[in-house]
Structure 1
């Protein structure tokens, strides 16, 4: 399924979307989105790194599985399944996966760079 097909869908089956390999033990699936909102699944192998970065988008991330050391600005905290982090616009953030896991990332507006 290509990304243009997703923009007009409201009911999406996980198996209809392929994982995109990002390297270093990280892969992602861009799920539903429109101009204002995007949901992305990001799977991490143990010890994989989500490099410190920032972006103008608001981001909320739900730890669906595993354990992560999350850096947000100058702080760090270990988050586990069921925990959440919020990345405000332009704040540097990243993760180190301590136990194989899955993050569910929600962005506002959508991330054109992921398409």
Structure 2
């Protein structure tokens, strides 16, 4: 592998990645990943829902823009720009977008179901 190939896989430009429309006011971009780690940008329109779900991956989500009502297990809290939530393995979680926004999700290991 030459240096150019390595640079293309490690230095990522947002404009080079297309949004994937998931429907119901939700879009995502898989920004980078390897076997152990994945970073995903998810854009929500106001009132869009990230359905309650669980998975075996660890997940950290950073609220880059907007505000969200986040459900984590039996708890609910409104998080806004600059806040973070952590979803442990197999804990049910989801979001309701209160003000159009963007979440930056990090998963360990990567989400094969997204690929």
TM-score interval, normalised by the smaller of the two chains: over 0.9
Provide runs of 4+ in structure 1 moved above 6 Å: none
- TM-score in terms of structure 1 length: 0.93
Q: Hey, what's the Cα distance between the residues in 1 that align with 2:31 and 2:90?
A: 23
Partner of residue 114, structure 2 = 114
Segments of structure 1 that go 5 or more residues without pairing to the other structure are none
* Aligned residue pairs, count: 109
Superposed, 1:12-27 pairs within 5 Å as 12-27=12-27
Q: Hey, what's the Cα distance between the residues in 2 that align with 1:69 and 1:56?
A: 22
Q: Highest Rg: 1 or 2?
A: 2
Q: Hey, what's the Cα distance between the residues in 2 that align with 1:47 and 1:32?
A: 27
What is the root-mean-square deviation in Å for CA atoms of aligned residues?
Answer: 1.1
Aligned partner of residue 100 in structure 2, secondary structure? strand
1:53 paired with 2:53, answer yes
1:80 paired with 2:75, answer no
- TM-score in terms of structure 2 length: 0.93
